[in-house]
Amino acid sequence: MEFVAYDSILLKLILEVMDNRARMQTKGPLSPFLGKVEQKFGAYLKNLPTEIRGDRLYLSTAFPPVPSKPFKRLVTSQIKRALGFHNPDNLTIMVTEDCQCHCEHCLAHKMGQGEELSKNEIFDVIDQALELGVSQITFEGGEPTLRKDLPKLIEHVDKNKATTMVVTNGQYLTEDYVRRLKESGLDYINVSIDSPYLEEHDEFRGVPGLFEDVTEGIKNSVDAGILTGVLYIARPGNCHRETLERMVNYCEELGVFELMIDKIVPSGRWMGKDVLSEEQEEEIIRFQKEIAEEKGKNLVTNFFQLRRSDFFGCFAGRMWCYVSPSGEVMPCMHVPLSFGNVRKEKLSKIWGKIRGHSLFNKKPETCVYEDPIYKEKYLGHMPEDAPLPYPIEKLD
């Protein structure tokens, strides 16, 4: 089956699905210039799950469906990027600092200082982000479902411009609530799970009974027809083969569309703690491929490989932009540097400051949080007790 993702006189992009796998073809005068992007995206595409709903092809929760206006905007943005103009593809708004969990790794730790953005202020940020060219808006926190007006915030996003996603600990996804989210136009839910073992998950997140609630929440989300993923942050203690196999079975049983594995980052409460070794990363990639072969379809995806320098490179301040609960703008959730506040400056102006900064206007060799200059000059000089994100101008 063929899906036309982009169709202009300069470029035609077609996704063909055969045996549960998508393949990309491009035609038109711009096609030769997209060589590298095409190769990389083509290689990544092979590992993405596919689901056809109506006349649309869903790939990962990381991308808008095909065909759709948001996907077209995403392609336009890649063409502009190949020509040297960067706009963010995804804007993540941390809509609240509140959270009922106490996760051992929480990156949002210390990020909730100051008054939360109001509903109208978030509406304005959404409008500005759409104006900048984003094709996906993600609602996070803290725990986004604790914010009473979340359905209204989702409703505000122009669905002809961007898809919407909620990343949640999943405890409050009751039948009624997910129906409201669906009615508000929500496209994707990603539920965070840190272990397929009930006690381990509850202990890591500091909430007894969480795993059972989350399992119910995932069922409700799948039943409501929202494309539902599980976001699994791999750390040295939870990435053994047996554990991952159990995660795959759990996701399959619940009808989860995608088990997305990302890696733990030494930020927030995980600062200074153990991260994955190279061998563990490679083992996860091998596991992903083996599961795809065994099942005859992709279910497991990994996000960390995408950010490697031989793939797309770090997303911070290039494809990603983050807004803290009080409106501070950061290049990434793991790089707690503020380049300005949306209450005082336009998002486009703040984005321009990120893009012009020496940490972000170069070809990334590593993720910014691994960049020795970031570690020495910036992270190393943030006062320990300071609220985050920390103003960049105090460190430059």
Using CB under 6 A as the binding rule, whether residue 262 contacts ligand SF4 is answered as: no
Using CB under 6 A as the binding rule, whether residue 140 contacts ligand SAM is answered as: yes
Using CB under 6 A as the binding rule, whether residue 178 contacts ligand SAM is answered as: no
- Name beta bridge partners: 140: 94
Selected from 11, 75, 95, 106, the binder of ligand SF4 by CB under 6 A is: 106
Using CB under 6 A as the binding rule, whether residue 138 contacts ligand SAM is answered as: no
* 395 φ/ψ angles, rounded to the nearest 5 degrees: -110, -20
CA–CA distance, 321 with 66 (Å, rounded to integer): 23
Selected from 74, 75, 108, 259, the binder of ligand SF4 by CB under 6 A is: 108
- With contacts defined by CB under 6 A, name the span among 137-145, 249-257, 290-298, 344-352 that binds ligand SF4: 137-145
CA–CA distance, 275 with 239 (Å, rounded to integer): 11
Selected from 71, 211, 270, 351, the binder of ligand SAM by CB under 6 A is: 270
Output DSSP code: residue 116.
P
238 vs 298 by CB, closer to ligand SAM: 238
Using CB under 6 A as the binding rule, whether residue 64 contacts ligand SF4 is answered as: no
Using CB under 6 A as the binding rule, whether residue 101 contacts ligand SF4 is answered as: yes
- With contacts defined by CB under 6 A, name the span among 4-12, 43-51, 96-104, 276-284 that binds ligand SF4: 96-104
Binders of ligand SF4 among residues 216 to 245 (CB under 6 A) are none
* 231 φ/ψ angles, rounded to the nearest 5 degrees: -105, 115
CA–CA distance, 113 with 118 (Å, rounded to integer): 14
Alpha carbons within 13 A on the beta-carbon side of 65: 19
Using CB under 6 A as the binding rule, whether residue 99 contacts ligand SF4 is answered as: yes
Among 161, 92, 2, 125, smallest CA distance to 322 is for 92
The residues, any chain, with a CB within 8 Å of residue 345's CB and separated by 6 or more, are none
CA–CA distance, 252 with 358 (Å, rounded to integer): 44
Provide the pairing of β-strand 12-18 with 2-7.
antiparallel
- Tell me, letter by letter, the H, E, C secondary structure of 296-349: CCCCEEECCHHHCCCCCCCCECCCEEEECCCCEEECECCECEECCECCCCCHHH
Selected from 22, 59, 62, 99, the binder of ligand SAM by CB under 6 A is: 99
Q: Which residue has the CB atom at the shortest distance from ligand SAM?
A: 192
CA–CA distance, 235 with 131 (Å, rounded to integer): 37
- With contacts defined by CB under 6 A, name the span among 85-93, 136-144, 315-323, 372-380 that binds ligand SF4: 136-144
* 363 φ/ψ angles, rounded to the nearest 5 degrees: -70, 120
Using CB under 6 A as the binding rule, whether residue 265 contacts ligand SAM is answered as: yes
Beta carbon of residue 68, minimum distance to ligand SAM (angstroms, whole number): 25
User: If contact means CB under 5 to 8 A according to the sort of partner, which of ligand SAM, ligand SF4, none does residue 167 touch?
Assistant: ligand SAM
* Token pair belonging to 288: 């992903």
Using CB under 6 A as the binding rule, whether residue 231 contacts ligand SAM is answered as: yes
Using CB under 6 A as the binding rule, whether residue 305 contacts ligand SF4 is answered as: no
Which chain residues interact with ligand SAM by CB under 6 A?
Answer: 99, 105-108, 140-141, 143, 167-169, 192, 231, 233, 264-265, 267-268, 270
